[in-house]
Amino acid sequence: MSASPDAIMRQWFQEVWNERREEAIDRLMAPGAKVHGLAGGVIDGPEGFKPFYRAFCGAFADFRVDVVQTVVEGDRVAALCHVTGRHVGDALGGKATGRSIDLWGNTIGRVKDGRIVEGWNTFDFLTMYQQIGWVKSPVTGE
């Protein structure tokens, strides 16, 4: 019997992001999987995801995604995530700032045969860009 969608999603964030185990991408994401909401379009499968993953890992030290809560319905799992880290690399198209990030986001994943086959992501990248100083807040001007 395959692991539950909840277990797969928690394993994804722990192994891929927190432990930085790139090989876990191939084990936990199905070939042909579709990932939405991370890179301005649809990412196709593990090989399409890895450049995004490497860029993010190259930009942030101490990057961590904590799954705070999940809700499961059938083959889908929604995960509320708390993201922290420090911007130390130029990998995302701008100079490293050394600033910390602290933001929230949600992922809804569909799991089949123990692998993620679809993912929809809504992470607060605007807050991240404000925290690292790439975008000013219209409210505070910082």
Calculate what percentage of the chain has a pLDDT beyond 70: 99
pLDDT value at position 140?
78
Yes or no: say if 28 and 11 are a contact pair by the CB < 8 Å rule.
yes
How many Å apart are CA 104 and CA 79, to the nearest integer? 11
CB atoms within 10 A of CB 52: 14
pLDDT value at position 110?
98
Is pLDDT above 80 for 2?
A: no
User: Each residue of 82-140: pLDDT tens digit?
Assistant: 999 999 998 888 899 999 999 999 999 999 999 999 999 999 999 999 999 998 877 77
- Compute the average pLDDT of residues 59-67: 93
pLDDT value at position 1?
57
Yes or no: say if 61 and 96 are a contact pair by the CB < 8 Å rule.
no
- Dihedral pair phi/psi, residue 10, rounded to 5°: -65, -40
pTM of the prediction?
Answer: 0.92
List of domains in the chain: 5-131 (3.10.450.50)
